[in-house]
Amino acid sequence: MMNFQGEHILSVSQFDRESVSRILQVAQSMIPYAARQKRCNVLEGAILNNLFFEPSTRTRISFGTAFQLLGGFVHETVGQESSSLSKGESLYDTAKVISGYSDVIAMRHPAMGSVAEFSQGSSVPVINGGDGANEHPTQALLDLFTIQAEMERYGKGIDGLNIVLMGDLKHGRTVHSLSKLLSLYKDITVTMLAPKELQMPDSVVDVLANAGHKVTITDTMAGNLASDVVYQTRIQQERFSSKEEADMYRGHFSLNKTVYEQYCKDHTVIMHPLPRDSRPEANELDTDLNDNTNLAIFRQAQNGVLVRMALFALTLGVDEKLTQYEKPVTWFTNK
Ligand code: NCD
């Protein structure tokens, strides 16, 4: 198992199965704090710098919330235009400076490999919050945590999972990281459902195939959705050369009540990293599924706080000290 203390979290390729289990286990132990049954101030005085050079709601806010739930301070920089990167400063120099102001850094950036490049100059752990179309390791971990929790309700685990990844698999970093993480488990069946032009990169398919898992590549929904989990993704418009090009692929694989009833199993769990594009023309994951109890998307987003709390505790070496720093909650809460 990896020793997390002081490590950067840049790619899911860093993990073996045991390390992933440890992260999920620490995430589980964060539930009472996130649910406001108890407080934990084990990171009191510690400073997180959240550097988000690409739009984000969940990832940025849940990183911040996770750190604050453990008692730490959060500083935020949002948008390249408000930092000296826009004056030509290198990622390396920026890291040299900001790591001097921080105990840990979370970063999102539009360029592939940028967070790894930044980490070279950092004296503190850097956690990748998404580097272009490359990877999104914390999302994959929260997706895995969610799969584990949802499958548990049906007496299943992650081994033996049958999952459909659907939508923009070419540009979607969440499905790249999740596929690689799933390859560590046993007997996984993955259906890659996408328009031919937006299919999963071979390099990712190979990781699953080389680990002996069953991968089906298809562009047809009929007959291919009877799985444990359907994981829908958004067309990553910002990674296309134009809106017109992205528009060509919208609505091809809309998951709605009719499709669910026709092709999914009774218990197929619906996941999506969010944001779902709710504009009518997007036609992606329909709101007519909102009352379906297997729609796990908001539980999934909530789990992001737990997993990010776990990564902070592990990289800052306090994962064994949580109970020592507990306090009661003094305010009204109905969580
Ligand atoms: C995803 C991302 O940024 O890659 N969002 C997220 O972090 N939950 C997915 C997306 O933007 O479509």
Mean pLDDT value of segment 32-49: 98
58 Cβ inside 6 Å of ligand 1 = yes
Beta strands in 211-317, from DSSP E residues, in sequence order: 214-218, 229-232, 269-271
Q: How many domains does the chain have?
A: 2
Pocket of ligand 1 contains residue 59 by CB under 6 Å: yes
The pLDDT tens digits of the residues spanning 206-245 come to 999 999 999 999 999 999 999 999 999 999 999 999 999 9
- Same domain membership, residue 247 and residue 176: yes
- Taking the C-alpha atoms of residue 197 and residue 218, their distance in angstroms, rounded to an integer, is 11
Are both 142 and 290 inside the same structural domain? yes
Q: Which atom from ligand 1 is nearest to the alpha carbon of 59?
A: 7
pLDDT at 278: 84
Ligand 1 touching residue 8 (CB < 6 A):
no
For residue 5, is it within any domain? no
User: Is 2 inside a domain boundary?
Assistant: no
Q: Indicate if the pLDDT at residue 13 is higher than 90.
A: yes
Tell whether ligand 1 has an atom less than 6 A from the beta carbon of residue 136.
yes
Please give the full DSSP string across 316-328, using - where no structure is assigned. TT-TT-TGGGEEE
Cis amide leading into 275 (omega within 30): yes
pLDDT tens figures, 179-205: 999 999 999 999 999 999 999 999 999
Instruction: Please indicate, yes or no, if residue 273 is contained in any of the structural domains.
Output: yes
Residue nearest to atom 1 of ligand 1 (CA): 273
The answer to the question of residue 193 being in a domain is yes
| Residue 163 sits in the same domain as residue 256 | yes
Q: Do residues 41 and 67 share a domain?
A: yes
Q: What is the rounded average pLDDT for all residues in the chain?
A: 96
Band of pLDDT at residue 86, cut at 50, 70 and 90: confident
The residue nearest atom 12 of ligand 1, judged by CA position, is 234
Q: Output the pLDDT for position 174.
A: 97
Task: Give the pLDDT score at 263.
Answer: 97
* Domain match, 272 and 227 both: yes
Lowest mean pLDDT among 86-95, 121-130, 319-328: 86-95
Looking at residue 218, what is its pLDDT?
Answer: 98
Pocket of ligand 1 contains residue 134 by CB under 6 Å: no
Q: Is residue 7 part of a domain?
A: no
The C-alpha atoms of residue 40 and residue 30 are separated, in whole angstroms, by: 9
Residue 4 lies in a domain: no
Ligand 1: distance of its center to the CA of 82 in Å? 22
**Domain-embedded: residue 3:** no
- pLDDT of 122-175, one tens digit each? 999 999 999 999 999 999 999 999 999 999 999 999 999 999 999 999 999 999
Atom of ligand 1 nearest to the CA of 168: 12
Ligand 1 centroid to Cα of residue 58, in Å, is 8
* 147 and 101 part of one domain: no
335 pLDDT more than 90:
no
For ligand 1, atom 11, name the residue with the nearest CA: 275
Cβ(174) – ligand 1 distance below 6 Å: yes
Residues 62 and 182 grouped into a single domain: no
| CATH code: domain of residue 78 | 3.40.50.1370
Q: Which of 235, 250, 274, 277 to mutate to test the pocket of ligand 1 (most atoms within 8 A of CB)?
A: 274
Using the mean position of ligand 1's atoms as its centre, give its distance from the Cα of residue 185 in Å. 24
> In this structure, what token pair is assigned to residue 166?
């659907």
Q: Is the CB of 173 under 6 A from ligand 1?
A: yes
Separation of alpha carbons 32 and 210, rounded Å: 39
Do 292 and 182 fall within a single domain? yes
Residues 152 and 174 in one domain: yes
Residue 82 pLDDT > 90, yes or no? no
333, part of any domain = no
User: Tens digits of per-residue pLDDT, 290-307?
Assistant: 999 999 999 999 999 999
Residues 154, 293 share a domain: yes
Let me know whether 85 and 155 are in one domain.
no
72 lines ligand 1 (CB under 6 A): no
The answer, yes or no, to whether any atom of ligand 1 lies below 6 A from the CB of 176, is: no
CA distances from 37 to 32, 33, 326, 328, 333 (A): 5, 6, 10, 8, 9
| Domain ranges, residue 174 | 137-298
Judge if 48 and 89 occupy the same domain: yes
